[in-house]
Structures are given as structure tokens and as C-alpha cells.
Amino acid sequence: MNKEDHQIARKLVSTYLTGTQISTIHLTGFISIELINLYDATIPDISIRIETDRLYYGDVESSKDWVVRHMPKEEMLHLIVTLHTERIIAVRIGKAAPHLFITFSSGKTLVINGSDTYYESWAIDMTLPDKGLVSIVAVPGDELAVFASDNTLLHNQTHE
């Protein structure tokens, strides 16, 4: 993975997603989740687009044999709906593959597969005040890409 994009993405997700919770779920060809921070109104609009059907939910810290698995859309939707009352307490992106690890207040972690040969697995879109849209995308080939409407934002995020 591109080290600079990984560093920017890691900083953005930990800064803006921690403390949020699921506010809205949209179901189209993929699942889209909008997040809200009820305790900090300065947090920007954030959405996570899940385009993969491979997830894991459980304790990744103490379980050495966890694995993402194919999950039917109905089961994915049910799981995400049950998580809407929990706050996100930690977020990280895998180093070898761009899996997205979202830890909730229950202590359990939702792992969204980021490894696909042909398709984007997930994307996070953030509208940052006065800075524009930023997208973090798990792209094919175990890569991560960060796009911003204002490229100076990306430079500033890595040097703060």
C-alpha cells in the first residue's frame, strides 16, 4: 500500500470517526451508513459505503483465528441496525490489506474486508468544513486511495 495514503487515511479515520455512531442506513446495490457525533457538532458529514459482502464482527484482539466471511445482505443489514446505538471508540485500517476495523463501545469490532482483486470494497466520504470532500477508498489489489477536492488538505493532514 502507498505509505503516504495509508498515513493520511489512518489520521483522518481516527480523528473523525472516533466518537460517532450510526445515524442512517441506506440500502441500494450496497449498504451506505451515515455517521453522527452527538457530542461534537464540529465533526463533518461522514458516510461509509460497504460494497463487499465479506465482514467479521466479534473480538479480534483475543481471537487469533477470526476471518472475514461472506455474509448475506439481510444478515449484514441486521448486524448494522443492531450497532446503531453503540459509539465507535476506535478505528484503524489494516497494514497488509486495507481492511477497516471499527471498534464499538461493546468492545467488539466490525471488520470490513478491504481486499478484492476487481472491486472497491469500501469507501469513506467526509465533507470537511471549508475544505471540501475527502474520500478514502479500498481499491482493488490491496491498495488504499485518498482523494480530496482540495489537495492542500492532504498535505496539511500529514504534517500536523
By three-state DSSP, how is residue 85 classified?
A: coil
Q: How far apart are CA 19 and CA 39, in angstroms?
A: 8
Phi, then psi, of 37 in degrees rounded to 5? -115, 110
- Look at residue 91 and tell me whether its pLDDT is greater than 50: yes
Q: What is the pLDDT of residue 102?
A: 97
Counted residue by residue, the chain has a size of 160
Q: What is the pLDDT of residue 158?
A: 44
What are the sequence ranges of the domains in the chain? 3-158
Q: What is the pLDDT of residue 156?
A: 52
Answer yes or no: are the C-beta atoms of 112 and 74 closer than 8 Å.
no
- Look at residue 49 and tell me whether its pLDDT is greater than 70: yes
pLDDT digits 0-9 by tens, 14-48: 999 999 999 999 988 889 999 999 888 888 889 99
- Is the full-model pTM beyond 0.85? yes
- Give residue 148's pLDDT band: very low, low, confident or very high (50, 70, 90): confident
CA end-to-end span of the chain, whole Å? Answer: 22
Answer yes or no: are the C-beta atoms of 102 and 126 closer than 8 Å.
no
Give the CA count within 13 Å in the CB-facing half-sphere of 136.
27
